[in-house]
Every structure is written in structure tokens, then in C-alpha cells.
Amino acid sequence: MPAIHRQDDNRACGATTVVTGQSTVYANNKLVSVNDDPNTHGGGSLNAGTNKVYINNKLVVDDNDSASADALCPPLGGAHCAPSATSGSPNVFIGDA
């Protein structure tokens, strides 16, 4: 099962996630990330995968979910054009059942 993605967890481009879509649910003392949360490079909205876990009617993000391009994609390219979630909680997981 994939690990739940949270505030300050890593992205493929070297940025970290900024949780803006919810402010009440935590895992390991960090806010849990939800669909559309950006990254520290600007933009990079997360695209929650196929899980069925919601917080405030927004899908929860796991450590393998994709993301839209961030603000550094046009000048730098590479992982900034797809800054997916690459880390998460060591002990809180999302199941697809």
C-alpha cells in the first residue's frame, strides 16, 4: 500500500508539498496532502490517484501520485514539468479497497 503524502514531503523536482486544501487532518504531526496541493516551487498541483480516501470532500494524496507542472518547468524542464509526490509517512498508508 502507498504511504500517505503530507506537508513538507518530497517531490520529484526537489520541492516539497505545501498543504493548502485542508487544515484539520494530520499524520505523524504533519498535515495530510489532498488533491491540488501545490509545491514550494509554485504550482505543481498534486493529482490524487485512485484511492477512495477523502478529507473535506477532497481525495487524499499518496507518495506515488502525479502532479501538474510547477513554476520552474518552462525555464528548467525535467522533473519540474511533472513534480510527482515521492515520499510519505513511514507508518500511515492508503488502501484501495
Per-residue pLDDT tens for 48-86?
987 789 999 999 999 999 999 999 999 999 999 999 999
Q: Tell whether 95 is covered by a domain.
A: no
Q: What is the pLDDT of residue 97?
A: 46
Q: Tell whether 16 is covered by a domain.
A: yes
Please give the Cα distance from 13 to 78 (Å, whole number): 8
Q: What is the pTM of this model?
A: 0.93
Q: Tell whether 97 is covered by a domain.
A: no
Q: Tell whether 11 is covered by a domain.
A: yes
Grid cell 520541492 is found at 15
Q: What is the domain count for the chain?
A: 1
Q: What residues have CB less than 8 Å from 48, skipping those under 6 apart?
A: 34, 35, 58, 59, 60, 61, 62, 65
Q: Tell whether 96 is covered by a domain.
A: no
The residue segments making up the domain with residue 57 are 1-88
| Length of the chain, in residues | 97
Q: Tell whether 4 is covered by a domain.
A: yes
Q: What is the pLDDT of residue 49?
A: 84
Q: Tell whether 36 is covered by a domain.
A: yes
CATH code of residue 38 = 2.60.200.60
Per-residue three-class SS string for 32-97: ECECCCCECCCECCEECCCCCCEECCEEECECCCEECCECCHHHHCHHHHCCCECCCCCCCECCCC
Whether the per-residue pLDDT at 96 is higher than 80: the answer is no
